[in-house]
Amino acid sequence: MNELHLQFLASPGWAKMLETDLLPWILASGDLGDDVLEIGPGPGLTTDLLRTRVPHLTALELDDDLASRLTERLAGTNVVVVRADATDSGLPGAQFTTATCFSMLHHMPTPQAQDLLFAEVHRVLRPGGQFVGVDALDNDAMRAGHQDDTFVPVDPDTLESRLAAARFTSTEIDVGDYQFRFRASKGR
């Protein structure tokens, strides 16, 4: 991520947006269960929202430096930070009750990598587990904010079939002004 983007994701303004925009939607997803996975926590403001609401949280982060800083900041809490690529996490199968990814899919280099992530999330979820996420829509403002940065937006119109290819069912997608949100289930 570029430095400006990183600063924004660690800012009080972003924390406020997450609390007013994202949190009500997360809460509307119902019980997240006792063992939750967050993919791509970055500086961890989304981790802070989740960790006070679930018994145990695993935060899976690709970037060495971000993973180290989060490990240090959240030492002694209910969060375990794992430094790994979410397309091949090394985590045990059928462990998690819910998996989340907030504003991270567009930071993956290709649609193929995103599809690998969907398959990996399906593998690590328990039967009946849910996958919930939010990501950016493709527009000029988003592209401008990702200069010198990876920006591979997911087309929400194709997401249901891509999740179905990874064996998710009951997919719901809400498209908003600047982002879309989705929920999908792993069958029992």
CA 73 to each of CA 44, 49, 66, 68: distance values in angstroms, whole numbers, following the listed order: 9, 15, 11, 9
Binding to ligand SAM, residues 104-143 (CB under 6 A) = 104, 107-108
Q: State the nearest-atom distance from the C-beta of 85 to ligand SAM, in Å.
A: 4
Long-range contacts of 77-83, Cβ-Cβ distance < 8 Å, separation of 24 or more: 77/51, 78/51, 78/54, 79/47, 79/51, 80/56, 81/41, 82/58
Q: Applying CB under 6 A, does 26 fall inside the site for ligand SAM?
A: no
Shorter beta-carbon distance to ligand SAM: residue 53 or 128: 53
Q: Applying CB under 6 A, does 146 fall inside the site for ligand SAM?
A: no
Binding to ligand SAM, residues 68-87 (CB under 6 A) = 85-87
Pairing of strands 57-61, 168-175: unpaired
Shorter beta-carbon distance to ligand SAM: residue 11 or 169: 11
Q: How many residues does the chain have?
A: 188
Shorter beta-carbon distance to ligand SAM: residue 90 or 187: 90
153 has which bridge partners? none
Among 26, 70, 102, 130, binds ligand SAM (CB under 6 A): 102
DSSP 8-state secondary structure symbol assigned to residue 180? E
Q: State the nearest-atom distance from the C-beta of 188 to ligand SAM, in Å.
A: 27
Among 26, 37, 39, 81, binds ligand SAM (CB under 6 A): 39
Pairing of strands 168-175, 96-102: unpaired
Residues that bind ligand SAM (CB under 6 A): 1, 9, 39-42, 45-46, 60-63, 66, 85-87, 102-104, 107-108
